[in-house]
Amino acid sequence: MRTASFLFAMSLGITLTFGCSKAPSTDQPAVGSSPNMRMTHLVSLQLGEQPGAFQVEDVTGPAAGESLCYRCKYGSRPTVVIFAREVNPSVANLVQQIDQKVSENEEKKLAAFMVALNEDPEEIKPQLIDVQTSHHIRHIPLTVFNDLHGPAGYGLSPEATVQVMMWNREGIRVNEILDGEISDDQIAKVVHQTESILK
């Protein structure tokens, strides 16, 4: 009896130890931070892959002043995300035209959000508020992420001024890298690509 009890206790201890070591963490990472950040930046998202969750600070959207995951909030809806390391007139024009596209496709549940990548979010927040006001942005939350590399696992191009990703329930459909001042033709091309996630 003692031998059986001892073996049962040992078995239970081993099961609990290995079970805990394999359990995924439920802790949410802070805005712009992640364990293994540098390592996971080496892995680029490919077409068809599902993008992971990441937290941003909302600046102009319905959750202004709060940290949340718009990737999670929008779920499998067709979604456009504009990652920008600069906020200049051409970026503001791109945001405005995507905002119009969202307005035109409300019945198809098209969603979008902009993520300004900056190591000092307080520096860029006034620029985002100005873009929202001057360009009458009504459907796209403008947010900040306090790391120039972008969210872990997204593999954003380090040279890109802007990188636009679009996805739906089938995964990533568009991954467009834009550098420098964005031309009107480039903006038109990106806006047209939203059709690929509405099918």
pLDDT tens column, 140-165? 999 999 999 999 999 999 989 999 99
Flag whether 3 is in a domain.
no
Give the pLDDT confidence score for residue 27 in this predicted structure: 35
The answer to the question of residue 16 being in a domain is no
- 23 in a domain, yes or no? no
State the virtual CA torsion across 74, 56, 80, 113 in degrees, nearest 10. 90
Counting as low any pLDDT under 70, the low residues of the chain are: 1-44
Q: What is the DSSP letter of 76?
A: T
- Give residue-wise pLDDT tens across range 115-130: 999 999 999 999 999 9
Q: Is 81 a domain residue?
A: yes
pLDDT of res. 177: 94
Q: Within 13 Å of residue 99, how many CA atoms lie on the same side as its CB?
A: 19
Angle at 168 between CA 48 and CA 184, to 5 degrees: 95
Distances (CA, A) of 122 to 65, 86, 147, 194, 199: 11, 14, 13, 31, 38
Question: What is the number of domains present in the chain?
Answer: 1
> How far, in Å, CA of 77 to CA of 152, rounded?
22
d(Cα 74, Cα 9) in Å, to the nearest integer? Answer: 46
CATH number of the CATH domain containing 45: 3.40.30.10
pLDDT computed for residue 44 by the predictor: 66
pLDDT of residue 30: 34
Task: Please give the Cα distance from 82 to 166 (Å, whole number).
Answer: 9
Tokens, residue 24 = 């995924």
Note whether residue 2 is domain-resident: no
On whether residue 21 sits in a domain, the answer given is no
The pLDDT assigned to 179 comes to 86
Domain that holds residue 90: 34-197
The whole-angstrom separation of Cα 3 and Cα 40 is 48
- pTM for this predicted structure: 0.78
- Does a structural domain hold residue 18? no
Q: Is 156 domain-assigned?
A: yes
Q: What is the DSSP string of 180-191?
A: SSPPHHHHHHHH
